[in-house]
A and B are shown apart, each in its own frame.
Chain A
């Protein structure tokens, strides 16, 4: 057994109620590490042969909650949620911060594999090796905050009853869904705490489809033993010291972005990306700091950065709204993207979105899309069930978000996410509305535009990523640099927070891996073999796709049409994306990762990586 792993995984079949422990060969863990990498391997092995027929929201999909060997050791604990994505029909390694991964490892498990679907609402309660499927009828329909409240109390009472002499029980860590997930909204999240979210991928809908309201875990053991704890301690200090020096990063988190990405880098979605520039000082980080942040340093396990905040509106119309952050993505997507430029309205909307269990990015994107169609007269007040989503109208967007959550009227259409909604509305209106959909392969694009060239994503970052519009998995060249998604695959497979890896020497993460597992891993080996193999598998499943949609790289390895329109205002007015440059960069990227000119992984690439079966499966697409 490799050090740093608990050595076993829980497998829960919700159809039969059967619970068992499973393991993986050392070789599999060495190659795929954990989290996103291992998810890719599990999904390919178990579902690969029938991938195209698997409905992500049907009983045959597999839902995964996976840690990695660095979870709990590398500062900033996270958990990786995965499965066949109801957004991309591929695999997304969707990670979320919190204590869940740490608790799970302390309970003696590296991950949970959920198959089948329950007949009635359930939640899973794990206390070390005691695992049970419990009734969740009383939780069904509850919003995020009430779910956390009820489940915290219930689990603590259970523990108290079973272990009366233990003393006071801490809260278990939990992952859960809100009403949006229950209603299989494709932009629903898997949430932790209040309300950190695994949003990309749409796995909240997958939980909802199997009537799994929550998973709560209490582990009382130590983290799996590390190979060299002294070295781990030294490395933790390297990460901490680096974070402690970044005062503004700690103080503001990404929350300065709501103003900065507009005013300084012209890369923020404004009114559904019609523009990417604004200079609204009312949306400055100082406004968030002085007016709404009531807790400015909030951390997940072991984190020195505390990019998380808690905001509360204390006066006025939106009094009583409480949400975490909003971080930059929430600020942007539920702010300027909807024509909103005050912290109070932004916090209010983020509260609604969080409480309903929606993804702020994906839902903010689809709300902006609907608002633009309304602005252009394509969708009318009647189409929108009497709602008029005018830019800046927080109440109208709230009404629409509720429609989406409960799949009522127009909400049922928008609940499919921007891409699918665009296809359906296009059919309904007999016109192309995909030109207003800002997404890549079913996944809305994170709030960092490419047109100005001043932000970190590059012109192929979203177009060629195996996780579509995911701004935490953008790609580019060179492959062994932070520009490519191979490094993100490491973060998501080791399963820790990439925010704490900013600014540290780039080999620290590999040193960390070595200190925990006792295994050597060089950047070269990772980039040339292991990460590349995971990338090919993700690419293969993305291209196989189905059942409702498939991606053709010749068409879909591209930016949304909007990114080829000139920026309307600001210092970068007129700038846009050069199609010839995209084509040229894309062909260099294809070459580097071993894909043919049509974007299909080459036989020789796959065979060199030992993926003969993948090669065979892709034959029909070539």
Chain B
């Protein structure tokens, strides 16, 4: 049982994603008090129909994003292990995006600061709605010490993998 106090990780089984975007709805309502898909910290991509998947911070062990930040706007939450953004310090330069192996962070549509998944203080809302729906794409687990960096992949890379998994060689035609 994962308690609120221990650092967590969101385990992800991307090929099960239905593309319902309830995670985006829940995330943006929690963080923005609006339904605001582009301001959601978790975003569902569908670059090839059927190959839908959520794209959000993989919480790399070495946090290259934090190292790349020129103004120290990023820090790691001791409680959850999530990357935290000091929104008033962030200069929206995008260096963390380039440093991320998965180009995962994106700018808040207001253009003022970068967005990272903050794990909702240890109780991720996206996981909750995904579980309610029975899709089980997202699941909360103890952070432990695993190679999470593997999950920091670009939307194109993930799309390619999922498309081939679904459509076999036929996927070539859609990529």
Q: Which residues of A contact B (CB under 8 A)?
A: 72-73, 99, 102, 106, 145, 148-149, 152, 156, 164-168, 170-171, 193-194, 219-223, 225, 229, 233, 236, 240, 244, 294-295, 297-304, 306, 310, 312, 314, 320, 322, 324
Contacts and interface: CB of A to CB of B under 8 A. Distances in A.
A244 B106 contact: no
B21 A301 contact: yes
Contact of A303 (B20, B97, B173): B20
A171 B21 contact: no
Nearest to A309: B50
Contact of A219 (B38, B47, B154, B167): B38
Interface string B4-43: 0000000000001011111001001100111111110001
Contact of A310 (B34, B47, B50): B50
Contact of B43 (A145, A170, A223, A322): A170
Interface string B130-156: 001111000000000000000000110
Given A229-B29, A304-B22, 15 more contacts: A72-B35, A106-B38, A165-B107, A167-B107, A168-B104, A170-B45, A170-B155, A193-B49, A222-B36, A223-B35, A233-B29, A240-B132, A244-B134, A304-B133, A314-B168
Interface in B96-110: 97, 103-107, 109
A32 to B, nearest CB: 24
Nearest to B22: A302
A156 B21 CA distance: 20
B64 interface: no
A236 B21 CA distance: 14
B166 interface: yes
B133 A168 contact: no
B46 interface: yes
B28 A298 contact: no
Contacts of B32: 222
A164 B170 CA distance: 32
Nearest to B95: A165
A493 to B, nearest CB: 20
B39 A149 contact: no
B36 A221 contact: yes
Interface residues of B, number: 51
Nearest to B36: A222
B101 to A, nearest CB: 12
A136 B49 CA distance: 21
* 7 tightest A-B CB contacts, nearest first: A167-B106, A299-B20, A222-B36, A165-B94, A222-B34, A220-B109, A194-B49
A102 B22 CA distance: 13
A299 B19 contact: yes
B54 to A, nearest CB: 11
27 contacts: A102-B37, A106-B37, A106-B38, A145-B174, A164-B94, A166-B94, A167-B104, A167-B114, A168-B97, A168-B103, A170-B43, A194-B49, A194-B50, A220-B109, A221-B38, A222-B28, A222-B32, A222-B34, A222-B36, A223-B35, A223-B36, A233-B29, A294-B50, A298-B19, A299-B21, A310-B49, A322-B170
Among the interface residues A156, A193, A295, A312, which one has the most CB atoms of the partner chain B within 10 A? A295
Interface of B: 16, 18-22, 25, 28-29, 32-39, 43-50, 52, 55, 92-94, 97, 103-107, 109, 114, 132-135, 154-155, 166-168, 170, 173-175
A233, A300, A322: residue with the most chain B Cβ atoms closer than 10 Å: A322
Contacts of B132: 240, 244
B65 to A, nearest CB: 12
Nearest to A310: B50
A229 B33 contact: yes
A168 B155 contact: yes
B173 A299 contact: no
Contacts of B105: 167
A72 B34 CA distance: 11
Contacts of B107: 165-167
Contact of A222 (B21, B22, B35, B47): B35
Nearest to A72: B35
B95 to A, nearest CB: 9
A156 B16 CA distance: 25
B109 to A, nearest CB: 4
A458 B70 CA distance: 69
Given A221-B36, A229-B33, A322-B170, A171 B46 contact: yes
Given A149-B174, A222-B36, A306 B20 contact: yes
B133 A244 contact: yes
A314 B94 CA distance: 43
B38 A220 contact: yes
Contacts of A300: 19-20
B135 A297 contact: yes
Nearest to A250: B134
A324 B34 CA distance: 31
B50 A298 contact: yes
